Amino acid sequence: MVRSLSLLGSTGSIGTQTLDVARSLGLRVEALAAGRNVALLAEQAKEFRPRLVSVATESGAADLRGRLAGCGFPVEVVHGLDGACAVASCPGAEMVVAAMVGVAGLVPVLAALESGKGVSLANKETLVAGGSIVMPLVRAKGLALHPVDSEHSAIWQCLWGAPEKSLSRILLTASGGPFRGRDRASLAGIGVEQALAHPTWKMGGKITIDSATLMNKGLEVIEASWLFDVPVDRVTVVVHPQSVVHSMVEFVDGSVLAQFGRPDMKLPIQVALSYPDRVAGDCVRFDPFDCGPLTFDRPDSKTFRCLALAYEAGRTGGSLPAVMNSANEEAVALFLAGRIGFLDIPRLVEESMDRHMAAGFVAHPDLEAVLALDARTRTELAVSAGTDR
Ligand SMILES: NC(=O)c1ccc[n+]([C@@H]2O[C@H](COP(=O)([O-])OP(=O)(O)OC[C@H]3O[C@@H](n4cnc5c(N)ncnc54)[C@H](OP(=O)(O)O)[C@@H]3O)[C@@H](O)[C@H]2O)c1
């Protein structure tokens, strides 16, 4: 079990729950990175007394320095991408929890790995956009990459001690989101508030919208493919609205193992940090007499087109998953800002993927190519959405 950590994205949903776990397990927090929520980061720093903290902007760093002046412990305040990378590679931290949202987390995760640190990964966009860069580094350096996503934690746990090559397929569960069972026509007028009302999980804004479009499940299919080294077509999505079975693994002999639990991210965070131990924390216990009937269904990837797009991107590989991810990030941001409709998200993502395949596909993108494609995809999407002014 690790004794110390650095945390990227400390002010978010996963970040704050990671600090709950650190508090309950008595882990030392060496460094914290956040975006714009300087007030919360200052509170976190006062409680956990890290040696290094980072925020997104220079003005945020000046504000944070003011809030931490005279706090009675030595703390360095840095900012921007360099700041997040310094947090990711902070000496003294045994593991980095990657809980920033979006492809913005890719470079800091690479900085953590380059500095020889294991990573507990919540930030799935990192693997979707940069799996072909991250995974060889993890293997070459023999580092730990522990999944934090509840589904991937479940799969990981089901595979502990499994003989090599015994995995037949992954059954990745999905709640189905707030619009499960609806048809396409009824999704046209969906507003931001409706899409943010997830039935079982309380999460950050971007992932909540991804859950409503089923892009979140699509991103997870690609994430599972990288983490467990299986093609996307051996990852089957199963709609399970109760979110109690966090995923299943089918072995070559037909045996299926599942992991059960209440919808509470603190447990997978704790599992990632305590591996290979099992420790008593303060996670909510599962009670089989209190969970009601459990149901399993096929996803509707005609209505929720994003899931089909993610399979297509995962099958094609190369630069297409990165472009799909960047287009989705940009489209979700525009939807959250009230500038496009709900059904514009899959439409704009698909148009971006088509544009990319027509001109610009890269079979083996390096980091520079992924970052350049990210910028270009966002600009082109804004133009095609008519929101570039
Ligand atoms: N929430 C869940 O239950 C859950 C479950 C599984 C996987 N995940 C994955 O975990 C990741 C985080 O999700 P979340 O729900 O915790 O998101 P969130 O609540 O929106 O938090 C995102 C965090 O990233 C920080 N951040 C954003 N841009 C940044 C930048 N440029 N530099 C430094 N920090 C930056 C934010 O800082 P500020 O708030 O200070 O701006 C915040 O701390 C996502 O990839 C998501 O898919 C989440």
Per-residue model confidence as pLDDT tens digits over 148-197: 999 999 999 999 999 999 999 999 999 999 999 999 999 999 999 999 99
Please give the average per-residue pLDDT across 122-139, as a whole number. 98
Nearest residue to 160 (alpha-carbon basis) of 146, 139, 143, 141: 146
Nearest residue to 215 (alpha-carbon basis) of 126, 128, 152: 128
Protein residue with least CA distance to atom 3, ligand 1: 203
Residue 243 region, left (φ>0) first, then alpha (ψ -120 to 50), else beta? left
What residue ranges define each of the domains in the chain, with the CATH number in brackets? 4-147 (3.40.50.720), 150-264+278-313 (no CATH), 317-389 (1.10.1740.10)
CA distance 380 to 119: 33
Could you tell me the pTM of the whole model?
0.98
Mutate to test the pocket of ligand 1, among 59, 101, 120, 214 (most ligand atoms within 8 A of CB): 101
Strand partners, 98: 8, 121
* 222, 315 Cβ separation under 8 angstroms: no
Q: Could you tell me the two tokens for 81?
A: 């991408």
Nearest residue to 249 (alpha-carbon basis) of 271, 224, 274: 224
The predicted pLDDT at position 389 comes to 60
How far apart are the CA of 371 and the centre of ligand 1, in A?
19
> Where does the pLDDT of residue 322 fall: very low under 50, low under 70, confident under 90, or very high at 90 and above?
very high
How far apart are the CA of 314 and the centre of ligand 1, in A?
23
CA distance 212 to 235: 20
The predicted pLDDT at position 282 comes to 83
39-71, pLDDT tens digit by residue? 999 999 999 999 999 999 999 999 999 999 999
215-251, pLDDT tens digit by residue? 999 999 999 999 999 999 999 999 999 999 999 999 9
CA distance 104 to 123: 9
